[in-house]
Amino acid sequence: MATILEAKDIHTILRAVEASHSALRSMSAKRTSSLLRIDQPLDKPRMMKDKIESVRDC
């Protein structure tokens, strides 16, 4: 299972991950695990909708 997050800066994404772990701890979770894959194009602005449109155009 995967969740895709999009934000203007990486700090927003990391705060969201921290909030999700905190929420699970508050529900007495015995373990939390997150795998992060960060795709941050630096040469031009790209949004998730751009990726979706590129797949639709194929």
CA distance linking residue 7 with residue 46, whole number of Å: 11
Q: What pTM was estimated for this model as a whole?
A: 0.71
| pLDDT tens by residue, 37-47 | 988 888 888 88
String of DSSP letters for 1-57:
-------SSHHHHHHHHHHHHHHHHHTT-S-----------SSS---HHHHHHHHHT
**Do 56 and 48 form a contact (C-beta atoms < 8 A)?**
no
What are the structural domain ranges in the chain? 10-56
| pLDDT tens by residue, 9-57 | 999 999 999 999 999 999 999 999 999 998 888 888 888 888 788 888 7
